[in-house]
Amino acid sequence: MAIPFNKPHLTGKEAHYMYQAVYNGKLSGNGEFTKRCQHFFEERYGFKKCLLTTSGTDALEMCAMLCDLKPGDEVIVPSYTFVSTALAFLREGAKVVFADSMKRNPNLDAETLESLITPRTKVIVPVHYAGVACDMNAIMALAQKYNLLVVEDAAQAIDSYYKPSTTSSHNGGERFAPSGENPRKGAMKPLGSIGHLAAFSFHETKNITAGGEGGLLVVNDERFIRRAEIIWEKGTNRAEFFRGEVNKYGWVDMGSSFLPAEINAAFLWAQLENLDEIQAKRKQLWNIYHERLSNILERFAPSGENPRKGAFTLPDIPSYATNNAHMFYLILPSLEARTALIKYLKEHEIMAVFHYLSLHSSAYYADKHDGRALPECDRYADTLVRLPMYYDLSFEDIGTICNIIHKYYIKK
């Protein structure tokens, strides 16, 4: 039987709650299920204000609007990311300055970040690739130093955390804790709670979904809360009207139709009720992958040589990050090696896929890029392969996948 790359998980309550939403007579959004979901995120993760959106892309576009960018303003974005991360800010007229990835994992390289900052820089957008935290202490220290906004692209990072006490660089105390906590106490901070703004995705490929599409805007800086609600409600102050704070509502700002339908919120609520179970299973699957593939790697790199020269490299989780088991990926030595492995797996009905192409060299942006080489982004674009990873994947499925990979390297 074929093993797909992804399969959305159903808890069994989705249709029931969608039925409730239909018969509650409130389908257009911001009803009972929308409020339940938003409250869940605010209570569980300490986010100041949460607003459901129709997609993670829409959440990023709201972030960009809230940054109030002017022509010529610069926004630093990793090149190894989905196009939505950059596009949200380009739509606001900003210039995107692409940053390279780290050598150890695809996240933005915080050590080279300062060299990209100019007097025109207004925003830094760290992307927590595979749900693994960027070095947020270092990033927030630079934001503090240069008076910049930080927008966390946490599309893949639901239920993942940053451990500031374990990173040696830029320990910055209270100013890095929008929720009022002091990172020096050693408490882990949920991803999405550290920057001024954050965006999550509930696309069907994510750990939890809102029925195929969905997203969440997180506002951690109180300055942006009122305007976020207005942008969310098509540029009107309707949210204030429904709370009885004004006696009528009207068009007061820019905005769009970012609010999802209530049936999407109902679907998401069924997933949120089972978040702990979903996460526990995904982490089990991730750990089995890691153990089995570590054993294979040991066989083909017994001398302790650099894995880049051998079969593959396993995912890297820095000491300051937790793992939410969003993805299991391998880094191959070359484009040719990756292509051959994907082809072999497909021949055995296992759907493994590559991921992003570097945005700085894309057809749309290549002539707008400043010409800097971003070798790590290009390396991941050529060599990273994602293995099947979803809740309904069985332990036996992982055994099959790992056995096929083992046979591939024996054959080689």
Q: pLDDT tens, 22-49?
A: 998 889 889 999 999 999 999 999 999 9
**Residues 6+ away with beta carbon under 8 Å from 238:** 249
| Tokens matching residue 331 | 């880094």
Instruction: Check residue 134 and report its DSSP letter.
Output: P
The pLDDT of residue 171 is above 60: no
Ordered by where they begin, the domains of the chain are 14-273 (3.40.640.10), 275-411 (3.90.1150.10)
pLDDT over 90 (residue 315):
yes
Q: Report how far Cα 348 is from the mean position of its chain's Cα atoms.
A: 30
Cβ proximity of 192 and 157 under 8 Å: yes
pLDDT reported for residue 309: 53
In which residue are the tokens 């596009």 written?
87
Give the chain's mean pLDDT. 92
265 exposure class (CB count in 10 Å sphere: 0-12, 13-18, 19+): buried
**Predicted structure pTM score:** 0.92
Q: What is the pLDDT of residue 230?
A: 95
As a whole number of angstroms, the distance between CA 176 and CA 133 comes to 15
Question: Identity (one letter) of the amino acid at 397?
Answer: D
- Give the model's confidence band at 169: pLDDT under 50 very low, under 70 low, under 90 confident, else very high: very low
pLDDT tens, 214-235?
999 999 999 999 999 999 999 9
* Residue with the two structure tokens 């195929």: 212
Q: How confident is the model at residue 287 (pLDDT cuts 50, 70, 90)?
A: very high
The single-letter DSSP state of residue 133 is: P
In the predicted structure, residue 360 carries a pLDDT above the cut 90: yes
Q: What is the mean pLDDT of residues 143-171?
A: 84
| pLDDT for the residue numbered 308 | 43
Contact predicate 92/60, CB 8 Å: no
In this predicted model, what pLDDT tens digit does every residue of 123-153 receive, in sequence order? 999 999 999 999 999 999 999 999 999 999 9
pLDDT for 66-87, tens place per residue? 999 999 999 999 999 999 999 9
Instruction: Tell which wins on pLDDT, 358 or 174.
Output: 358
Among 380, 383, 372, 384, residue whose Cα is nearest residue 99: 372
Whether residue 307 has pLDDT greater than 50: no
Contacts of 334 (CB under 8 A, 6+ apart): 382, 383
The two structure tokens encoding residue 100 = 């390279």
pLDDT band at residue 302, thresholds of 50, 70 and 90?
low
The pLDDT assigned to 241 comes to: 77
Cα–Cα dist 177/180, whole Å: 5
Over residues 324-336, mean pLDDT: 97
Q: Are 390 and 325 in contact (CB under 8 A)?
A: no
Pairwise CA distance, residues 214 & 216, whole Å: 7
CA 96 remoteness from chain centre: 19
In this predicted structure, what is the pLDDT of residue 174? Answer: 34
Hey, what amino acid is at 194? I
Average pLDDT over residues 43-57: 98
Look at residue 327 and tell me whether its pLDDT is greater than 90.
Answer: yes
Q: Assign 22 to helix, strand or coil.
A: helix
Rounded Cα distance, 41 and 35, in Å: 10
| Neighbour tally for 287: CB within 10 Å | 14
In sequence order, the 6+-apart residues with CB closer than 8 A to the CB of 222 are 48
pLDDT at 373: 95
pLDDT number for residue 130: 98
